[in-house]
Amino acid sequence: MEHLDFDFPGRPMAPPARSGAIVGVVSSGNLEVLIEQAPLNGTCRVSIDTAVQGYGPIWQAVLADFVARHALADVRISINDVGATPAVVGLRLVQALEELQQAAR
Amino acid sequence: MNALRHSYYEASARQRLTVLLDAGSFHEFLPPAARVTSPHLPALGLPVAFDDGVVVGRGLLDRHPVLVAAQEGGFLGGAVGEVHGAKITGLLERALADKPAAVLLLLESGGVRLHEANAGLIAVSEILRALLALRATHTPVLALIGGTYGCFGGMGIVARCCDAVIMSEVGRLGLSGPEVIETVAGVEEFDSRDRALVWRTLGGKHRYLLGEAQRLVADDIGAFRATAIELLTTRRPLELAALEAEQARLEARLARYGDCRDAADIWARLGVPRPERLPLLDEAEFHQAVAPALAGTKP
């Protein structure tokens, strides 16, 4: 188990439709992403619990790419991971953001 | 929307609830943002899930208020830990006060979460106690089984303590799972890699023919929904006479099928013509094939 925290400077975003959303399942090769609005002085904070040790630089790269592609401000992302590949992580992050911005069905 | 078929088998617990209940009616208790997670898993170096593998809440089913719990098989095989079990127990106890039209349990579990040992065992017994206390007030509890991981161990017992069980063919219900049986009794007794054998023995069709599942439906969340609506008023009497009748039924079943070596032998003795073809039939064909043999035998 490894715990990782990352802070990214935010960029102004349209107010999300929902206060939070969750996607994915804590299952082998998968992860759950909980995304929430939070007062973080305009930044984006990501905290990760992962079953696989030693992949800090990869997480940093995947998250930096996600944050560069999407405007996020005052967003907290919490992740429970069981060895998801970077591609799966990237897809889940996009899915979580889409859910956050989608009005409740 | 109605023409769309949503596979129950492939859906996550949350997706199942979205389609099962009236659109937009689900309200979750202890949602992921509350972060009520297992206190035991971090000590073992294992990641937690924000909902501890079970989604509980209230919603509407065909405009009737219901309470629901949906286990997520993907997280530790849907196994019941301390928090996971407490959420289900709390839901059942809440039903005593809320008096919903029914409680729906979407079960998908290997049983007790071994990582949490005694806490998980106690959790299952608490679920059973709460379930029976609720049924004593005549609030029906329905079990829905059709997930990837089946319904085994303590949750298999919970399922059979409900008023009715709704299953799909791909759903599995049992006490010991295939691997457990093979490990304990040997591969000659039960080959857990023989998928046809596993589903013939533990799958929905066999459970339906034995009278352990009251309804067999297609692998479609909409079909589960329609059948749950139909069974909303189903109540299995919880009294001594009913238990004695069930005991007599089980004794008769043992006498009738006790020497059968395979589920197909039981189907043949039940009077189903060409029983070997049953696993190949879809739900409609299956019901047509078995209806004459089942006429009069259904409790």
How close B289 comes to chain A (CA, Å)? 39
Closest by Cβ to B75, choosing from A19, A27, A105: A27
Residue contact B12–A25, C-beta within 8 A: yes
Mean of the pLDDT values across residues B206-232? 97
Torsions phi, psi for B35 (to 5 deg):
55, 45
For residue A19, what are the CA distances in angstroms to A25, A103, B188? 20, 10, 55
Q: Which residue has the tokens 């006790």?
A: B258
Mean of the pLDDT values across residues B163-167? 98
Alpha helices in B148-282 (DSSP H): 154-160, 178-185, 195-202, 204-209, 221-230, 240-257, 263-270
Chain A (18-77) residues lying within 8 Å, Cβ to Cβ, of chain B: 19-20, 22, 25-27, 30, 32, 34, 36, 49-51
Residue contact B47–A25, C-beta within 8 A: no
Mean of the pLDDT values across residues B158-167? 97
Contacts of B72 in chain A (CB under 8 A): 25
Contacts of A19 in chain B (CB under 8 A): 33
Can you give the pLDDT at residue B1? 44
Residue contact A50–B47, C-beta within 8 A: yes
Contacts of A30 in chain B (CB under 8 A): 74
Q: Is residue B247 helix, strand or coil? A: helix
- Would you list which residues of chain B are within 8 Å, Cβ to Cβ, of chain A? 12, 14, 18, 23-24, 31-33, 35, 42, 45-51, 53, 72, 74-75
Domain boundaries defined on chain B: 13-236, 239-299
Can you give the pLDDT at residue B296? 65
Mean of the pLDDT values across residues A39-51? 96
Residue B22 contacts residue B61 (beta carbons within 8 Å)? yes
Mean of the pLDDT values across residues A58-75? 96
Burial class (CB in 10 A: 0-12, 13-18, 19+), B291: exposed
Cβ count near A68 (within 10 Å): 10
List all residues 6 or more positions away from B186 whose beta carbon is below 8 Å from its beta carbon. Answer: none
Residue contact B49–A105, C-beta within 8 A: no
Size of interface A-B (CB pairs under 8 A): 52
Residue contact A80–B12, C-beta within 8 A: no
Q: Write down all domains in chain A, each with its CATH number in brackets.
A: 2-101 (3.30.230)
Give the CATH superfamily of B13-236.
2-enoyl-CoA Hydratase; Chain A, domain 1 (3.90.226.10)
Residue B2: pLDDT over 70: no
List all residues 6 or more positions away from B291 whose beta carbon is below 8 Å from its beta carbon. Answer: none
Q: What is the DSSP code string of B5-23?
A: ---TTTS-HHHHHHHHSST
Closest CA in chain B for residue A76: B33
Residue B292: pLDDT over 80: yes
Residue B66: pLDDT over 60: yes
Can you give the pLDDT at residue A105? 53
Among A101-105, B260-264, B292-296, whose mean pLDDT is lowest? A101-105
Can you give the pLDDT at residue B97? 96
Residue contact B32–A25, C-beta within 8 A: no
Interface test mutation site (partner A, options B18, B36, B50, B84, max chain A beta carbons within 10 A):
B50
* Mean pLDDT, chain B, integer: 95
CA angle, B270 as apex, B264 and B272 as ends, to 5°? 70
Amino acid B88 reads: I
Can you give the pLDDT at residue A92? 98
Can you give the pLDDT at residue A104? 59
CA angle, B4 as apex, A19 and B221 as ends, to 5°? 70
How close A66 comes to chain B (CA, Å)? 22
Residue contact A1–B50, C-beta within 8 A: no
Can you give the pLDDT at residue B269? 95
User: DSSP class of residue B162?
Assistant: S
Contacts of B47 in chain A (CB under 8 A): 1, 26, 49-51, 80-82
Candidates A70, A11, A74; CA nearest to A41 is A74
Query: What are the tokens at A78?
Result: 């919490």
Residues B68-119 have pLDDT tens digits of 999 999 999 999 999 999 999 999 999 999 999 999 999 999 999 999 989 9
Residue B87 contacts residue B123 (beta carbons within 8 Å)? no
